[in-house]
Amino acid sequence: MLRSLLKSSLTLVIYFTLYYGFEKLLKFIFLREEFININPDYFLFIDPILSVFFISILIWFIRKTFLIDNNKTNISIRILPIIAFCAITFFIIKEPFLRIDFILDKKEIPESVDMSSRSLLSLVAIFLNIVIMTPVFEELLFRKIMMGFFSRNHLIIAIILSSLFFTSVHINFNEINSFTLITLFSFGFISCVLYIRFGFIYNLLFHVFSNLIWFIVDVNRHTYWKLLKIFDFGFFYWGIIIICFGIILYLMIRLFSQIIKINNSESGYLNQLGNTKPSIYSIFIK
């Protein structure tokens, strides 16, 4: 297990080194007078382009390092609504954690929101980066690779470390708080459970759906704030939160218990991963 821990830690260090190294390099290149007159929206495409480069490296690394199953992944259309539902319910559950200052009356819900128009070009760049490229890169790194370093005997440790590492790269150290840490770790945990139970495509779609919801809310943030003001953190607001929390907790307990059962079997979860056909009914029955 120590070797697995060292491998995953080294992978995280390499990620941070490359990320901040490229960030400094790009600032050095583009923060020059000759780029002042260029439409700043074009620079938003730098991130998705870099993501393609890093994703290619990760795929190459996976093919060279891990045993690749040549069988095609079984994709069940019936289970996609469950993945989308998990993304929606998690977004609702994390809502109070993001609005804790408003709940504690440290801030007031704004009457109006700055709706400075963003160009179609900038929206396309943000969509590509946040909704498409970021989920692919992060799920390959934190689920496919980092969890792949661990054997089935260290399943729980793999889930915890993957979730912790995922949390660490999303922390804004200028605005760090326990609520942010809880939501990030929970997201990583759910993604790990979906990955182990159903296969890579499903945790990837969970991440894509989650970021897509964020994108839709961000584009329509004026409507979002109006709805928040209508609910005003009252009975219906907390009722929805509690119901969603109960649903996602039930699903995670069911899925995790199934993972433990499979992992304790002779074949183990690593051999089961991606080879079993997911069934929507398997979530609700033993």
Check whether 55 has a pLDDT greater than 80.
Answer: yes
Mean pLDDT over the full length of the chain: 82
What sign for the dihedral angle of Cα 97, 207, 149, 256? Answer: positive
Check whether 278 has a pLDDT greater than 60.
Answer: no
Per-residue pLDDT, 73: 58
% of the chain with per-residue pLDDT over 70: 85
Largest CA distance in the chain: 65
Q: Cα–chain-centroid distance for residue 209?
A: 9
pTM for the model stands at 0.85
Check whether 12 has a pLDDT greater than 50.
Answer: yes
Question: 90 lies in which domain range?
Answer: 2-283
pLDDT in tens, 141-184: 999 999 888 877 788 888 999 999 999 988 876 677 788 889 99
Per-residue pLDDT, 286: 40
pLDDT in tens, 168-226: 988 876 677 788 889 999 999 999 999 988 889 999 999 999 999 999 998 888 888 88
Q: Which residue has the higher pLDDT, 12 or 246?
A: 246
Q: What average pLDDT does this structure show over 112-125? A: 77
pLDDT in tens, 25-45: 877 777 777 777 777 788 888
Per-residue pLDDT, 106: 66
Could you give the CA distance from residue 231 to residue 225 in angstroms, rounded to a whole number?
10
Angle between helices 155-168 and 2-30 (to 10 degrees): 20
Per-residue pLDDT, 283: 47
Q: Which of 153, 241, 267, 142 is nearest to 194 (CA)?
A: 142
Q: What is the CA radius of gyration of the chain?
A: 21
How many domains in the chain?
Answer: 1
Q: Which of 241, 211, 180, 206 is nearest to 86 (CA)?
A: 206
Hey, what long-range contacts does 80-85 have (CB within 8 A, 24 or more apart)? 80/205, 82/251, 82/280, 82/283, 83/194, 83/202, 83/205, 83/206, 83/209, 84/205, 84/209, 85/247
Q: How far is CA 23 from CA 39, 49, 123, 125, 285, in A?
A: 19, 13, 21, 17, 48
CA dihedral 131, 133, 134, 136 (to 10 degrees): 100
